[in-house]
Amino acid sequence: MSEDKKNLILSVKDLEVKFKVRDKVLTAIRRISMDFEEGKVVAIVGESGSGKSVFTKTFTGMLEINGTVTNGEIWFEGKDLAKIKNDKEWEQIRGKKIATVFQDPMTSLNPVKTIGDQISEVIIKHQGKSKAEAKKMAIEMMGRVGIREPEKRYNEYPFMYSGGMRQRIVIAIALACRPRILICDEPTTALDVTIQAQIIRLIKDLSQEYGFTTIYITHDLGVVANVADVVAVMYAGQIIEYGNVNEIFYDSRHPYTWGLLSSLPQLGEKGENLFAIRGTPPSLFEEIKGDAFAPRSNYALKIDYEQEPPFFKVSDTHFAKTWLMDPRAPKVEPPAAVRELHERMLALTSKGGIYGER
Amino acid sequence: MNDKEVLVEVKDVDITFKNGKRVFKAVKNASFNIYKGETFALVGESGSGKTTIARAIIRLNNISAGEILFEGRKISGKLSKEDRTWVQRNIQMIFQDPAASLNERATIDYCISEGLYNFHLYKDEADRQEKVDKALNAVGLLPEHKSRYPHEFSGGQRQRVGIARAMIMEPKFIIADEPISALDVSIRAQVLNLMNKFKDENGLTYMFIAHDLSVVRYFADRIAVIHNGRIVEVASATDLFRYPIHPYTQSLLQAVPMPDPEIEKAKQLKTYDNKHEEESEEDGSLQEIVPGHYIFMNEKQRPEYEAKLKEMMNTSVSS
């Protein structure tokens, strides 16, 4: 999407993913092209079913058995990942070069294996170290992700850890083989807010220390504001807006992004209704004509129901897939809540981002 | 505050769970009032005891000390059958996960009228049908949905069914346990607006249980913050956000990420230590610091909190 190709680590072109569900076909990803710059934190925002997890699962060959990449290319280290057919090849990428941290730390850990073994196992497999070396590295890694007295806790089992601690271990395992890309799929959704803040901080610190690229999947715009350099907004299997974090929050162009921002409960005024996007997302079993968001949009034009909009350029880093950006389209202003977002948030908080203390 | 009618009164309630010899106190000496027509929010992290209190009010958990009153009548402990029915009819609950709280094998028609069947709250079949249609219509679903099963609906629609089955009982008091946590951002606003609409139309009182303070600021009139089974602060929503006094409330407020990159990227995280609560563990109680604003503290801590409040009030006036 960006024009000068500087330091790209991953490049997706025209990606399409389909799932066979009983005798029907569902198009989960509808031709996405996107470049990931090395070292950046890219947040992918969208509702459940928008395809954000499916999109990133194609980078590690982890699509469910009924899903296939039916079109497109995924370029990484000079290789097209979309062409990989067998698991042997995937093992060179998955976990080793591109690692994933999932939402629920309990299901990503083996309940009958000690924490320490689960970390050193990865080090032995991917880095070919001896058992003793791996143990030493695992303990170091545990300390690095904030486990106190790692030597003592090395032989404990997952159930002896709290949710936040388990997620730290999952991160330690993911980072044990020094991946180039870390995909965080809603890593804090199952955690409490205070723990969430710590885990977010940890991932940020580690990304600077180890220099990996982070792809952060979330539906929480607060988390996005905290972590992201770049934001991609997904809707119905497509990226509909893409830009630097400030461009998305302070100068968004797509009506769906406006809708997401306006429905933030932080913007609600007592005694008034919250802004709600009407209706529900479209079914991906049927072919979508025009702009997928049009039936729910207050700004839909006639052409939105007929023809799919292309990406329009807002700045060198900011693109929006909406006909509103076409020079022939009528000029519309974003809703007041979106225009005044920053002022309203400032009114709620102090300089340190804390409610109350002003 | 005293001129308002109290609907629910929770008085010095302890709730303990026993596992063999191990005794765990999940709720410690909780006291609060819920006034008629307000939305009262109980906010805390997982394991803080917020759902335990809610379940005690609808009599799913036993309490080991204290009492709970509803419209001035005691509803905790042993009750007559008549009183139990009265509680069940007038207090309804909306659950977090609409998929798990609906019977998968029952049609939406049955799910919604289950309460009507249980208490025989309809004259005849036609009357029941009419009530169900009205409830469906009120939550924005169609009568044709009646013959369908819960799995055929989206999360937001299922939560609407959950609301409809609570509303059809025409309760006075609804406990909503994280009703929007499992829903998508664009659907959340729809459900919150719907709940507000019912509150205005039917003069309902809500207890709203949440872990997310950002939702509560908009939705609640008063907020209680609970930590480790202990209510540490109670105040009006406005006051709690403007003058959060208890250190735990502050850390909770600060941890919520703000959807604004400039603010969020400048934020410095404070970690919460349990010091304040440990100090007042033995001799502390929930005390009023200014009218309507309660803090859990002991006498030694009072001057410190008062000074803190004064400082906050001064800075907010001068700016």
With tokens 């099963």, the residue in question is B149
Does the ipTM exceed 0.85? no
Res. A192 pLDDT band, cuts 50 70 90:
confident
Nearest in space to A187 (alpha carbons), one of A209, A202, A208: A202
Residue-level pLDDT at A58: 96
Asked if A116 and A155 count as a contact pair (C-beta separation under 8 A), the reply is yes
pLDDT at A126: 86
* Per-residue confidence (pLDDT) for residue B314, from 0 to 100: 79
Q: Residue A266: pLDDT above 50?
A: yes
Task: Name the residue with tokens 């499992």.
Answer: B182
CB contact under 8 A, A265 and B188: yes
> A90-104, A341-355, B242-256, B270-284: lowest mean pLDDT where?
A341-355
Q: What is the pLDDT of residue A355?
A: 58
pLDDT over 80 at A84, yes or no: yes
Identify all chain A residues contacting B261, using CB atoms and an 8 Å cutoff. Answer: 225-226, 228, 245-246, 249
pLDDT value of residue A4? 53
Instruction: Note the pLDDT tens digit of each residue in A129-181.
Output: 999 999 999 999 999 898 888 999 999 999 888 888 899 999 999 998 889 99
Per DSSP, the residues of chain B read -TTSPEEEEEEEEEEEEEETTEEEEEEEEEEEEEETT-EEEEE--TTSSHHHHHHHHTTSS--SEEEEEETTEE-SSS--HHHHHHHHHHEEEE-S-TTTSS-TTS-HHHHHHHHHHHHT--SSHHHHHHHHHHHHHHTT--GGGGGS-GGGS-HHHHHHHHHHHHHTT--SEEEEESTTTTS-HHHHHHHHHHHHHHHHHHT-EEEEEES-HHHHHHH-SEEEEEETTEEEEEEEHHHHHH---SHHHHHHHHHSPPS-HHHHHH-------THHHHHTTTT-EEEEEETTEEEEE-TTTHHHHHHHHHHHHHHHHH-
- The verdict on A228 touching B (C-beta cutoff 8 Å) is yes
Nearest to B184 among A47, A249, A278 (CB): A47
Nearest CA in chain A to B243: A356
Report DSSP state, residue A63: -
Around Cβ A270, how many Cβ atoms within 10 Å?
11
pLDDT (0 to 100) of residue B107? 92
Are the beta carbons of A280 and B187 separated by less than 8 Å?
A: yes
Query: CB A47 to CB B185 under 8 A?
Result: yes
Mean pLDDT of A239-246: 97
Please name the amino acid found at residue B262: E
Q: What is the pLDDT of residue A298?
A: 92
pLDDT value at position B317? 52
Biggest CA–CA distance in chain A, Å, is 68
A263 touches chain B (CB under 8 A): yes
Place of tokens 């609600």: A268
Contacts of B253 in chain A (CB under 8 A): 354-356
Residue A266 CA to residue B185 CA, distance in Å, equals: 12
Torsion angle, alpha carbons of A152, A154, A159, A160, to 10: 10
- ∠ CA B136-B97-B77, nearest 5°, is 95
Interface test with A, best of B195, B225, B250, B254 (most A CBs within 10 A): B254
If one compares B258 and A43, the residue with the highest pLDDT of the two is A43
Q: Mind telling me how many Å the CA of B145 is from chain A's nearest CA?
A: 16
pLDDT tens for each residue of A297-330: 999 999 999 999 999 999 999 999 999 999 999 9
Fold of B6-228: Rossmann fold (3.40.50)
Q: Tell me if chain A has a CB within 8 Å of the CB of B273.
A: no
Name which of B160, B260, B314 to mutate to probe chain A: the one with the most chain A Cβ atoms within 10 A of its Cβ.
Answer: B260
The answer to whether the CB of B207 falls within 8 A of the CB of B42 is yes
Sequence letter at residue B122:
Y
Residues of B in contact with A285 (CB under 8 A): none
User: Does the distance separating the beta carbons of B196 and A225 come in below 8 Å?
Assistant: no
Give the pLDDT confidence of A196-211 residue by residue, as tens digits.
888 999 999 999 999 9
Contact A222 B315 (CB under 8 A): no
Q: How far apart are CA A195 and CA A214, in angstroms?
A: 20
Query: Are the Cβ atoms of B243 and A356 closer than 8 angstroms?
Result: yes
Chain A's closest residue to B45, CA to CA, is A192
Percent of chain A surpassing pLDDT 70: 96
Gap between the Cα atoms of A293 and A280, Å rounded: 10
pLDDT at B3: 64
Residues of A in contact with B217 (CB under 8 A): 265-266, 268, 355
Per-residue pLDDT, A297: 94
Digit-by-digit pLDDT tens for chain B (319 residues) are 456 899 999 999 999 998 888 888 999 999 999 999 999 999 998 888 999 999 999 999 999 999 999 999 999 999 999 999 999 999 999 988 877 888 989 999 999 999 999 988 899 999 999 999 988 888 888 888 888 898 888 888 888 899 999 989 999 999 999 888 877 777 788 888 889 988 988 889 999 999 888 888 888 999 999 999 999 999 999 899 888 999 999 888 888 888 999 988 888 777 777 777 777 877 888 999 999 999 999 988 899 899 988 888 877 654 4
Inter-chain touch A194–B251, beta carbons under 8 Å: yes
> For chain B, what are the domain ranges?
6-228, 244-319
Alpha carbons B246 and B250: distance in angstroms, whole number: 6
Instruction: Name the pLDDT band for A353 (thresholds 50, 70, 90).
Output: very low
pLDDT at position B186, please? Answer: 74
Sort B303 into a burial class: Cβ within 10 Å, 0-12 / 13-18 / 19+. Answer: exposed
